[in-house]
Structure 1
Amino acid sequence: MAKHPFDLSGRVAIVTGGGRGIGAAIVTRLAQAGAVVVIANRTQDVAEALARDLAAEGGTAHCVPFDNLDRDSLRAMVDGVARQHGRLDIVVHNAGGCPWSSLEDLDEAKLEETLTLNLSASVWLAQAAIPHMRANRLGRILVTSSVSARVAMGGGAHYSAAKAGVNAFIRGAAFELARDGITVNGVEAGFIAKPGRGTMSQPENRAKLERFIPVGHMGEADDIGCAMLYLASVEAKYVTGQTIVVDGGSTLPETGFAVERQWGL
């Protein structure tokens, strides 16, 4: 059998929010490349079903809870995985999202929830992973970010702020950890289809949205999974402090009018 182009055999990975969508795509790609993948997910039955499917295909994955996002709980989870497997090589903080709200109506609870899930958890997971990765002088700390860090969407000012913070954290952490053999990177996701879920995936809304995406269609979860696989690999050893934008070119035009004029839509 030919060697996988981004071979992760012998590596141990944690992926948060790995039960469905983008997270499941990341888990699948890492497992197919030979990594032992620990799925940290709030909904255990969904994650366990994915783990069973991967096992049936010859992959190795199991699940741990991802309910508490405080520093001590996340450290305990990371330490537990490293202790069980004898090492930890890859941490992907994919879990994210926010309760949408206009800036005028935003309250403390919604802001705190958004910052905790997207930004604070990134910091605490990375901090917990450092000693385990430093011991092997090999580590990949990855975060699923969003193009919302650089462009605006109504009702998401707090989400944009959290993801912009994630991008800044990636750069700072990468600088600090570079001499330890640990790279820190992220993927900025654009519009990714969620079949059967979300208002943007409804046919009429999707059709309207895709008019303004230069490649002509929304992305798939696996588009993010493939980018994460590269960043997790040895082949990406000279890439750190970066985010890869995976958005079908949606952040390229100055306005949607430019897209319509270019292709006569």
Structure 2
Amino acid sequence: MTILDLFRVTDKVAVVTGAGRGIGAATAVALAEAGADVVISSRTEAELHEVAARIEQAGRKAHVVAADLSAPDAAAALAAAAQETFGRLDIVVNNVGGTYPRPLLDTTVEFLEEAFRFNVSTAHALTVAAAPAMLADCGGAIVNISSVMGRVAGRGFAAYGTAKAALAHYTRLAATDLSPRIRVNAIAVGSVATSALDVVVRNDELRGKMEAATPLHVIGDADHIAATAVYLASGAGGYVTGKVFEVDGGLQVPNLEFGLPDL
């Protein structure tokens, strides 16, 4: 056995939400390359089939579930889909989430609650549904995708930042409840070149400002997050639980402001 073998998840079964593109797609493919069969879900079925083809090219099986995962029940159903299709469940990556920036006084209670449901309640629903399947076997690993905005303060992020901060602490609490057989960790993601940042990535001026304000002077790649998820889901991360890994280029403050004025 070599050190690289610790990063293998051979014959494990994973569920990855928000897997049609970006971080979710990269993570699903990375887990397949590390040896797992993967249940992938998002709204857009065509995107999922493209990701499924990449999983199969890696020599593993994919099961596609097109669903609106803003509904916690739809997220929870993915645990049963994994058991019915593959007979087990070992890894969950709660990646689905996101909320558009909005000035504080335009952030209604309904908008805040929607952000919480999409970023926290869906993760909780799938975690609770997945845990019995994991406990029936050899345990498992859960990886939640949080954000740097759950740690640093920037104008316009009251809903999103609050929800991601909640997800980070939820990770610590769930890890305590589910230890020792299920490990729960999170990744606090910085600026990553996905469709959510298309406006910035395609604009040389905006991209330059964001890179200059990032200590490593680059925008991250989805594979940086996928690699961290594989570490946390595999035996390599077997002595880690209840932690939030900051994969953000070294950010201590936001690296792009929206220019919202003083009130």
The 5 Å alignment of 1:54-133 reads 54-133=55-134
Secondary structure at 2:19 match in 1: coil
| Structure 1 position 198, deviation (Å) | 2.6
Distance change >3 Å, CA 134–CA 150, structure 1 → 2: same
Q: Note if contact 1:4-1:33 (Cα within 8 Å) is conserved in structure 2.
A: no
Post-superposition CA distance 1:202-261 (Å, at most 9, x none) = 22211011111111111111000000000000121110000110011122xx798xxxxx
Partner of 1:215: 216
| Structure 1 position 95, deviation (Å) | 0.9
Question: Unpaired runs of 5+ in structure 1?
Answer: 257-265
Question: Unpaired runs of 5+ in structure 2?
Answer: 256-263
Q: Note if contact 1:99-1:110 (Cα within 8 Å) is conserved in structure 2.
A: no
The 5 Å alignment of 1:1-265 reads 4-179=5-180, 181-194=181-194, 198-201=198-201, 202-251=203-252
Identity %: 39
Measure the CA separation in 1 of the matches of 2:132 and 2:195.
Answer: 39
| Structure 1 position 188, deviation (Å) | 0.5
- Aligned residue type for 1:149: G
Secondary structure at 1:198 match in 2: helix
How many equivalent residue pairs? Answer: 252
Distance change >3 Å, CA 106–CA 255, structure 1 → 2: closer
| Structure 1 position 5, deviation (Å) | 4.9
Secondary structure at 1:14 match in 2: strand
- Aligned residue type for 1:214: P
Measure the CA separation in 1 of the matches of 2:138 and 2:79.
Answer: 17
- Aligned residue type for 2:34: A
Distance change >3 Å, CA 96–CA 222, structure 1 → 2: same
Measure the CA separation in 2 of the matches of 1:176 and 1:57.
Answer: 35
User: Normalising to structure 1: TM-score of the pair?
Assistant: 0.89
Measure the CA separation in 1 of the matches of 2:209 and 2:99.
Answer: 23
